[in-house]
Amino acid sequence: MAIVSFDFDSYMESLAEKLVDISHDTSSKKTDRFHRCSGITNLEEILQNITSISGMQLIIQDNLAGGFSDGKSNNVQETPYYNYFLLKKAKAGSMPERKAAVNACKAAMKKILARMRYDKLRDMNFQNTGLLYFDINTVRYDTIGPLADSYFGVWCSFTLTEPALLNINRADWTDGAGFDSNI
C-alpha cells in the first residue's frame, strides 16, 4: 500500500462542505465559510472582512510547523502540526450567546474528529485519505474569542507522525557528500 500524504487544506475544505453545521459553499459569498490564515493577526483580518457571512466558520492555519525525532533507532519520524479554528458570531457582552457559540463550535470539532477517526479506518482499508497516522491522543483544543469583536469558538490542534525520508544525495552537495539512499 502506498502511503498518501495528508493534504490538510483540501481535506478540511471538504469537511467544511460536508459538515451540516458549516455547509461551506463557494457559489455564494453568504455561504463561503472556509478560510485560510497564517496566524492570529491574519485571522482577525479575515473575520473583519466576512462579518456579513452568517453561520459557523472553519479557518485553517496554513503555515508549516512541526518537528523531527528518531528515538535513537535511525527511524526518523516527522511530526507536522495542524491547527484550525471553528468560530461563530455572538454578542461580546452576552455570556449566554458566547457560551452557546463556544459549545456549538466544540460540538462541531467533535464531529470533525469523529470523521477523521472514521477516515483513518478507511485508510487502513486502502482508501487513502492521508490519515493513516492520525492519533487522537495528539489532539489539543482551547476556547478562543472574542476575535474581531464578535467571534467565539474553539482552536484545535493535532499532529500526524509519519516516516520522514531524509535523503543525502550527492547531486545536492558541492563536496560530493552522499550515498543516494535514505538515512
Q: Is the pLDDT of residue 116 over 90?
A: yes
Q: Which of 7-11, 35-39, 76-80 has the highest mean pLDDT?
A: 7-11
The model's confidence at residue 180, banded by pLDDT at 50, 70 and 90, is low
Q: Is the pLDDT of residue 1 over 50?
A: no
- pLDDT, tens only, 117-148: 998 887 666 567 788 888 999 999 999 988 88
Cβ atoms of residues 13 and 57 within 8 Å = no
Cell numbers 502511503 correspond to 3
What domains are there in the chain, each with its CATH number?
8-164 (3.30.70)
Across 171-179, average pLDDT = 74
Higher-confidence position of 7 and 166? 7
Q: Is the pLDDT of residue 77 over 50?
A: yes
| Residue 153 region by backbone torsions, left for phi larger than 0, else alpha for psi between -120 and 50, else beta | left
Q: Is the pLDDT of residue 178 over 70?
A: no
CA 107 to chain centre: 16
Q: Is the pLDDT of residue 88 over 70?
A: yes
Across 49-73, average pLDDT = 81
Q: At what angle do helices 95-124 and 8-18 cross, to 10 degrees?
A: 120
Query: In whole numbers, what is the pLDDT of the chain averaged over residues?
Result: 83
- Give the torsion through C-alpha atoms of 101, 102, 107, 109, to 10 deg: 120
Residue-level pLDDT at 69: 82
Q: Is the pLDDT of residue 89 over 60?
A: yes
Predicted TM-score (pTM) above 0.85: no
Q: Which residues lie closer than 8 Å to 42 by C-beta, 6 or more apart?
A: none
